Structures are given as C-alpha cells and as structure tokens.
Copies of this chain bind each other. A is one copy, B any other.
Amino acid sequence: MKLAIVGGGQLGRMMAQAALPLGIKSLLLDPIADACGVDCGELLVAAYDDPASLDSLAQQCDAVTFEFENVPPAAVSRLAKDIPAYPPAQALETARDRWNEKSLFQSLNIATATLALVDDQASLVQGVAKVGFPCVLKTRTLGYDGKGQKVLRSSVDIEGTFEELGAVPLLLEGFVDFDYEVSCLSVRGRDGECVFYPLVENEHRQGILHKSRPLLNHPLQSQAAQAAQAVMEAIDYVGVMAFEFFVQGDHLVANEIAPRVHNSGHWTIEGSACSQFENHVRAVMGLPLGSTETSRPIAMLNVIGKRPDIHKLLAIPGVHLNDYGKAERQGRKIAHINISAVNEADLLVRLDAVEGILVNNL
C-alpha cells in the first residue's frame, strides 16, 4: 500500500513515520528539496499545483491526504477524481475560511463568539457596534499562529484598520474571556466510525502553541466530542480533525477547526494506544480506527527556533524527543518533546525540569 501526502513538513513526516509500521510507504509532495519528510518516505519535489506531479501521485498511490488546509483547490480536485482524497475538498474549503467555518458551527447550534463580516471600513464600524469592545479582527482566510489578527480595544483602534490588515475580507469576533483553551482531536473513518481523544489543554506563548496536556475524564469531553462529530458528519469528513474551543466556566465556545493532524495532538504518539498520525493514516486508507485509550500521564512541549542541550534533555526520565530534522530559525517549530510518567506527581517534576532547559527562540 502507498499513501500520497501533499506537504513534506513535520506533519507529513510524522504521518509517514506512522504509516511505515502498518506496511504503508509514503510519497510526499513538497516544493522544498530538503523538506524534513524526506527522511521517512519518497519525496517528489514540485509545486503543490504541478499537474504532472499530481498525476504521478495519483498513479502511484492508493489514497492521498494533506498536511495543511491551504492546498490549491484545483490540486485537490485533480487528485480526487483519480484516487480517494481525504479530508474531502469541502472540509478544506470550510476550514480555509473563518466565516464559512463559523457559519457551519452556528448552523449546528455550536456556540461561537458574536460575529460580524467586514468587507470595508464602513462595515467594520457597523460590526464593532454589533460585537462591542474588546473584539478581534481576523482575516477570513490564511493567517495562523496569531498572524493576520488585531485586537480592537476602543474606537481609536478602528481607524485605518481595514487597510492595515490588507483590505481583504475580514471577520470580527467578540472577545471571549476564557478560562483556558482546549482542543478535541477527533477521527472519522471512511465508514463513518468516529473516535475521540481526551480533551487537551493548550497553552500558547506569543500566539504559538507552547504546551499541551490531555485532561482525562473532563466534564466537557462529551460536549466537545458531540460538536466534533456533528461537524465531521456535516462535511463528510475522513481523517483526524482538531477542534479548538475556549472553556468559559462550564461551557465551550467554538474557536476553529483544523482539517488535519494537529500540534496539540502530538502527545498521542507516546500517550495513546494509537497516535493521531496512525489514526489519520488508518482513516484515509480505509482501515479500522485505532484505540484512543490514554492511561499514561503525559504532556507535550514545543521546541521553537533553537534546540536545548540534548544531553541534559535526555537525562530527564520519561522524555521522548521528536526532532523534525529542520534547521534552527526564529519562530520555527523544529521539534516537540513528549514527557511521560507513571503518575501525575512525577510528570509535573519532569515537566518543570524540561521547561528549565528549553531555550526557545520565539
């Protein structure tokens, strides 16, 4: 069996790593010749929309998946006419546009922040009147890790802001005064079977994920899983989908979905019976989904921009380094560290020890 992966970064790399023990080889498409996925599969170096390369993927592989949501739609259509392509084009389209995404949530009665569409400076003023301060103005498409966003705190923040964000279609969202952020990693198979990992608490620094920890038996687990299942069924999703929420007291406010394996699920590699990467591969290839059982206390820390001393790091018990083999560069995700323990107290000690030697360059 052979899987095509559009995108050869760390997510593609970890999918290919998970595919191999299942007897599945990977063919990755990436325009960068030293994309880090090259260590775990065959790399086809070409633009994401190069017709000959897309046809080559389709000819050689049994199914295709995507490392990220911004694959050119024409590329997805071209692939999907020849081989199973998951997640489906509709899911990628929905997730690419914040307004489509949140309209879908609202249509499924999933709570979101108050919203207003912004197409020019005048509609921005109207939107603020509806949503109120503070609020967050975001580009409808693209933008991630806090980029393409601006927080508006008072009327002085409004003037010229439409132009400042590029005079592109925007979405204005009421500010959610949340207690903490969680994500729900969900998987849907080709046959409609769904499984869910435990809710994950996520901590960001400067807009980039810093730490993720699964929260076992969380009271909002079933609410999150129901919302994720409703979304996945509405867009006939196949694969792993990450659903990010804000926790406000005893309820969830939907933030966004990522139609792919997700940074907040990297702890599943050592934490769960079947990792998000293996489950994504299983789903896309039409295989039965794996167990999301999570019994070992675990947490994940991102390594950004600069590597810590490997001798110090590996001397901490329960450390699982996952280095993506990428060069160091400010703000770049170059590795993650999973930390496991046999009990919660040991986990906290180990987490502190790892945090103490991280030298991230954000």
Instruction: Name A residues whose Cβ lies closer than 8 Å to a Cβ of B.
Output: 17, 20-23, 25, 39-40, 270, 273-274, 282, 287-288, 290-291, 293, 295-296, 307, 310-311, 314-315, 317-323, 325, 335, 340-342
Residue in B17, B21, B282, B317 whose beta carbon sits within 8 Å of that of A273 in the complex? B317
Most buried by B among A21, A274, A307, A341: A21
Are B20 and A325 within 8 A (Cβ)?
Answer: yes
With contact pairs A273-B318, A287-B310, A318-B273 given, residues A295 and B342 touching in the complex (Cβ less than 8 Å): yes
With contact pairs A287-B314, A291-B317 given, residues A21 and B340 touching in the complex (Cβ less than 8 Å): no
Measured between beta carbons, the chain B residues less than 8 angstroms from A22 are 310, 314, 321, 323
Beta-carbon nearest neighbor of A282 in chain B: B314
Task: For residue A48, give the distance in angstroms from its CB to the closest CB of chain B.
Answer: 25
With contact pairs A17-B20, A23-B325 given, residues A319 and B293 touching in the complex (Cβ less than 8 Å): no
5 A-B contact pairs sorted by A residue (CB < 8 Å)? A21-B320, A21-B321, A273-B320, A288-B315, A295-B296
Q: How far is the CA of A40 from the CA of B270 in the complex (A)?
A: 19
Residue in B21, B315, B325 whose beta carbon sits within 8 Å of that of A322 in the complex? B21
The 6 A-B pairs at the shortest CB distance, nearest first, are namely A23-B323, A288-B315, A291-B317, A21-B322, A288-B314, A295-B342
